[in-house]
Amino acid sequence: ARKLQEAGIEVLMTRNDDRYLTLEERTAFANTHRADLFVSVHTNASRDPRAYGTETYFLNLATDDESIRVAAMENATSTKNISDLHSILNDLLKNAKINESSRLAAFVQSGLIKHLASNGYPRIKDKGVKQAPFYVLLGARMPSVLVESAFISNREECRLLTTPAFQEHIADSIARGIRTYIQDINPTAWSEPSRGSPG
């Protein structure tokens, strides 16, 4: 959050402590505060301890088995039932933000991979931009993405995730991706001095 605030972007956190919010409450928070973007940052997990890498998702139907697995894992804490697919499909069809979410995901993923690789983490695997029906993104009225920063089930990535330096690089990478997205949709976003912006 600090990285974006330093760039003059207002940031609202769904939580600043360890209290639990349901997936639905997180999206409702963003909607209530009329956020322009919604970014949910997670750690991934797999039964295969060799699985590793970084991927960014946007809301849509899953196109591969791995995306289905990740969505099922993330959705497990939802109060909704996965069989409520009809409702999900209707919401997807109404969501005009899918294309913008896809663009945001591409910028965030690119920012993650480039920044991590250039800062001493060349082994980070680019798992790409994917799509899946995540409940945490379902009700968002703005472009929204879910970032799976690394695999907590992978010994090496789990070790990295516990280090403040890696956490800082993840945060900086995501912030760079968001800022690049904003500049892409609004090229004058930082060309003129504005409240809280650099320069």
- Rounded to whole angstroms, the Cα distance separating 24 from 177 reads 25
Give the model's pLDDT for residue 199.
Answer: 36
**Which portions of the chain are predicted below pLDDT 70?**
77-96, 189-199
Distances (CA, A) of 177 to 21, 52, 59, 154: 25, 21, 18, 25
Give the model's pLDDT for residue 155.
Answer: 96
- Rounded to whole angstroms, the Cα distance separating 39 from 80 reads 21
- Rounded to whole angstroms, the Cα distance separating 11 from 166 reads 21
DSSP 10: -
Pick the CATH number of 25-185 from 3.30.420.40, 2.70.98.10, 3.90.1150.10, 3.40.630.40: 3.40.630.40
Is 55:130 a contact under the CB 8 Å cutoff?
yes
End-to-end CA distance of the chain: 20
Residue range 61-94, pLDDT digits in tens: 777 888 878 887 887 755 555 556 556 656 665 5
Is 42:157 a contact under the CB 8 Å cutoff?
no
